[in-house]
């Protein structure tokens, strides 16, 4: 498959990830019926909440893994691409094309989400996490977690996410179930860390909304590039040197299985 087609698949896949995941957080996480249109006795809060948003992120990855996994590998995340390259699963020379495509897809999705969200009167790019932006510190972490806590959370959770990806896509793993494991893994990561950083583990997902929010979001986006990339890099090294089998061991195992 030509690199241009694979990069286009990455752009579309990352677009879907940000639109589906961040869109669910902005548009559907919390929704209160308009009291002016209904009686007081039937007024109640609606919305999918943190669990729903977590599932939305997981579902975007799982659906795209089945849709484009056979085309581009369905990375949708610069940290994933870097982790896979570190583990010798992806050619490093193709990283620039993949990362640029992922970032463009995230920015396009965040722009569309901004247009949709702006269609409701009163919407403004203010508050701790407009457009589902990621942040740290008392003003921009949903739970007012410190810079250090947010850094550790993003690094460790991205490390674990890459282990899930590398293990689920290993040729020794049960075939056909990798998208399910990866999607559920990302769901669990969001269940853990939405209160901490609003969950990134994906530099492109963080940059997309930050471009439109500007100001503090751009100033803090460095952490959501550094921590996930470092976590993915460490996971790639760990899996390659600890869990990966050598060609000799693989050939021997296959010969014994015949």
Residue 252 lies in a domain: no
Contact 212, 126 (CB under 8 A): no
Contact 99, 59 (CB under 8 A): no
pLDDT in tens, 46-79: 788 899 999 999 999 999 999 999 999 999 999 9
Q: What is the pLDDT of residue 196?
A: 97
Q: Inter-axis angle of helices 95-117 and 3-23, to 10 degrees?
A: 30
Report the alpha-carbon distance of residue 191 to residue 211 in Å, rounded.
Answer: 25
Calculate the alpha carbon distances from 131 to 51, 89, 164, 172 in Å.
18, 33, 28, 40
Q: What is the CATH number of the domain that holds 242?
A: 1.20.1080.10
Contact 106, 204 (CB under 8 A): yes
Residue 181 lies in a domain: yes
Residue 144 lies in a domain: yes
Q: What is the pLDDT of residue 114?
A: 95
pLDDT in tens, 12-51: 999 999 999 999 999 988 766 554 454 454 455 678 889 9
Query: Helix, strand or coil for residue 46?
Result: strand
Range of the domain at 37: 3-246
pLDDT in tens, 215-254: 999 999 999 999 999 999 999 999 999 998 766 565 555 5
Q: What is the pLDDT of residue 123?
A: 78
Residue 92 lies in a domain: yes
Percentage of residues in the chain having pLDDT higher than 70: 88
Q: What is the mean pLDDT of residues 160-186?
A: 95
Q: What is the pLDDT of residue 35?
A: 47
Residue 188 lies in a domain: yes
Q: What is the pLDDT of residue 251?
A: 55
pLDDT in tens, 192-205: 999 999 999 999 99
Partner residues linked to 31 by β-bridges: 46
Q: What is the pLDDT of residue 38?
A: 46
Our count of domains for the chain comes to 1
Report the alpha-carbon distance of residue 201 to residue 171 in Å, rounded.
Answer: 25
Q: What is the pLDDT of residue 13?
A: 98
Categorize the per-residue pLDDT at 156 as very low, low, confident or very high, splitting at 50, 70 and 90.
Answer: very high
Residue 253 lies in a domain: no
Residue 256 lies in a domain: no
Partner residues linked to 32 by β-bridges: 45
Report the half-sphere exposure of 74 (CA within 13 A, side-chain side).
21
pLDDT in tens, 102-138: 999 999 999 999 999 998 877 777 766 789 999 999 9
Q: What is the pLDDT of residue 107?
A: 98
* Distant-in-sequence, close-in-space partners of 103: CB < 8 Å, separation ≥ 6: 14, 78, 203, 204, 207, 208
Residue 128 lies in a domain: yes
């Amino acid at each position: 498959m030509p690199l241009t087609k694979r990069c286009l698949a990455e752009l579309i896949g990352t677009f879907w990830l940000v639109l589906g995941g961040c869109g669910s957080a902005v548009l559907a996480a919390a929704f209160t019926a308009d009291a002016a249109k209904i009686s007081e006795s039937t007024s109640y809060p609606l919305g999918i909440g943190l669990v729903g948003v977590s599932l939305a992120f997981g579902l975007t990855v799982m659906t795209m893994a089945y849709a484009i996994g056979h085309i581009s590998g369905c990375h949708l995340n610069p940290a994933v691409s870097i982790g896979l390259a570190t583990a010798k699963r992806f050619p490093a020379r193709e990283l620039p094309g993949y990362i640029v495509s992922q970032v463009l897809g995230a920015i396009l999705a965040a722009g569309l989400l901004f247009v949709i969200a702006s269609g409701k009167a009163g919407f403004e790019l203010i508050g701790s996490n407009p457009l589902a932006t990621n942040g740290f510190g008392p003003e921009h972490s949903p739970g007012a977690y410190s810079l250090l806590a947010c850094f550790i959370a993003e690094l460790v959770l991205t490390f674990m996410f890459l282990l899930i990806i590398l293990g689920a896509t290993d040729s020794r793993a049960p075939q056909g179930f990798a998208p399910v494991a990866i999607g559920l893994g990302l769901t669990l990561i969001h269940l853990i860390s939405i209160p901490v950083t609003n969950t990134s583990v994906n530099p492109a997902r963080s940059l997309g909304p930050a471009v439109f929010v500007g100001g503090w979001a751009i100033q803090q986006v460095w952490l959501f590039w550094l921590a996930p990339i470092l976590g993915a890099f460490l996971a790639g090294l760990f899996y390659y040197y600890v869990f990966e089998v050598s060609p000799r061991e693989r050939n021997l195992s296959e010969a014994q299985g015949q």
